Each structure stands twice: as C-alpha cells, then as structure tokens.
Amino acid sequence: MVKRIIPALCALLVLCGTGCSDGNDSSSSSSQAEESPESAAVSSAADSSKAETVPARTVGEKLKAVYDIISSGSYTFEIELTGTNVPETIEITRIVSGEDSYQLQQEKLGNHGTVSFSGKSFDFDYVCGMYRENAEPPQPGMIEQIVKGNVPRTDAAAVSPENGCDCEQYTYTGDTFITVIDFFFDKSDGHLVKYTTAYSVEGRDDIIETRTVKKLEKGADTSVFNAYFADTLVNFDTMSEPQRQGFCQGLCATWGVTADEMFRLGVSSDSFGKIDYDTLFTLIHTYGKHRTPAGDSSVSGDESSGSPDESSESTEDSSESSDSTESAAESSEESSEE
C-alpha cells in the first residue's frame, strides 16, 4: 500500500540522497592505501583538477518546474500506478494546503489513506472499517527528495526519450541495489506526463513501476481536511481486547482470510485481542479476497473524499491477492504518490 510504500521509498532515497556511489570505491580505497604519500598527493591533485574542470550536473529544469508546484504550499496531485508486481491499477490522490495534507489510495479491494489537519493526523481504512489517531503524516515524495538533495541527473546522451517526450533520469546506487527514475515531460509545454522507477536488487528480478500523472496543479480542495470517516469507521485504538478480538475475527470471516494465511504473517485468531493496527491492516490487505462485504456502505458512501463505489468481484486466488498487495506495500509512495 502506498501508506507503507511511502516511508519505505523515502528511506531508500534518504539513504542514497547524498549522491551515487562508485562501484569501484572499495578497490580504489585499497590501492590508495598502498601508495606512497607523494603518489597519493599527486592523485589527490589530479582528482581535484578533474573536479574543477567537469561541469556539475544539477537537477533538471523540467523537474524543478514540477517541484515549484509541489513546493507552492497548495497543490493537487493525482496519479495511476502500474507495475510488474502491481497487476491492478492503483489510483492515488494527494492534496496539500500549507501544513494540512490528504492522501487517498483507491484499489480494487477498497480505499484507504491518511489525513493531517489542525495539528492532528489520522490513518483511515474503508476495507477494514477502522481508523486511528496520531498516525504519521505522508512523508516527502521522491520528487521532493531529488530536488532538495540536488541529486544530479544522468548525462542527457545516456537517456532515451520517448515520442513526444523529453526525459530526465536520476540514479541511486547502493551496495546491493540500484534505483533508476525516469521522468517524462511533454515536449510542447513541459508538463510531467509520467515517471518510471526500476528497482534492481541483487539476486532478484527487476521491479518496474510506472506512475502516470492524471493531474498536477496548484490549488487544493480543503474540504477533505476533516475526520468525516469517524462517523462510519471504528476507532481502533479505543477498542478493548475482547472488542478487538471479535472485530478481527469478523474481518477475517468477511474477507475470507484463512488460518494458514494468518500463520504466514505470524498471527492467529487467539492473538487478535493484542494485534496492532499495522499488523491487521497488512493481514487483510495482503490476504483479503476481492469482494465487497454485504451491507458495507463505508466504501460507496465516501463520496466526500472522492471514493468510488466498489463493485462486487469474484473471490480470487489468495496468492495473487498477496502478490498484488505486497508489491504495493513495497512500492510507495510516494509514497507516496511520488
């Protein structure tokens, strides 16, 4: 889920935000240790000379223009997320006005999000029918990370533009992973069309994600900054252990979560009384089957937040549901939508 993917991705960017590391760092350090002080000084001088003659590669002007909207203090950002490990399109909306922020993620299983206003933050989840207070607000997205960190872009000659689009590419390199982010801008007016991320992790297949921009503009609908969900959702933090036990058992029955699937996550029905919000969220969103609970009006009734009616879907194989949700949880967004 994007509420999980945003901290994960941002952590990745923060770790790598100081720039790209050279794959030969360890070997070069070893060779320098064997050099004499004189030769080391020559090498240092040569390196310094090179640093002075090579022009700095700064963040691209087109991405800076996008950041100007995001940093304006009031904006609306809507994207569609697809990817190799995201079999169903996920719609993400982020609205920001000053210190207030709202993020909604719409999936086939249902809708969930976060909202921060008047110094308070909440997570809300229409799939589980619950919310909690004092949740962390959405973290900065990758666009903000790149621009604020002044991360250099890849040489233009190494980037392949698409028809009708210019491309700016940025790369993070870690010890066991590489993340390449391509931003595509319309050649006619420079607006951001989409951006793709390619995660290359040692020993695993590459994960490719595409975020297609549906809307990015200044201005915010401030009506979303409220706790409208408290009228229909349960405050998870105020439930007693017996209440939580019954609540979780009902959710698992409604969404078709089996004992074997609980075991995979390290929980059992006997421990539901002490389960935390995040674990329950992960359990239902990972193993919940695609169907709308009978009599559940929490999803379709959320018109004020722009949540669409959820149509009934046939039960699908739990492993497919797991793959879809787990990949979304690892993505982020930005996060986040970013």
How far is it, in rounded angstroms, from Cα 104 to Cα 190? 27
Determine whether domain 1-229 maps to CATH 2.50.20.10. yes
pLDDT at residue number 202 = 76
Domain boundaries along the sequence of the chain: 1-229
Say which amino acid occupies 250.
Answer: G
Query: What pTM was estimated for this model as a whole?
Result: 0.70
Q: Along the chain (338 residues), what's the average pLDDT of each consecutive run of 10 residues?
A: 42 37 38 35 37 58 94 96 90 96 94 94 97 81 84 75 88 82 94 94 85 97 96 97 97 95 94 96 90 40 33 35 43 45
Strands (E), 207-316: 207-218, 234-235
pLDDT at residue number 338 = 59
How far is it, in rounded angstroms, from Cα 326 to Cα 322? 6
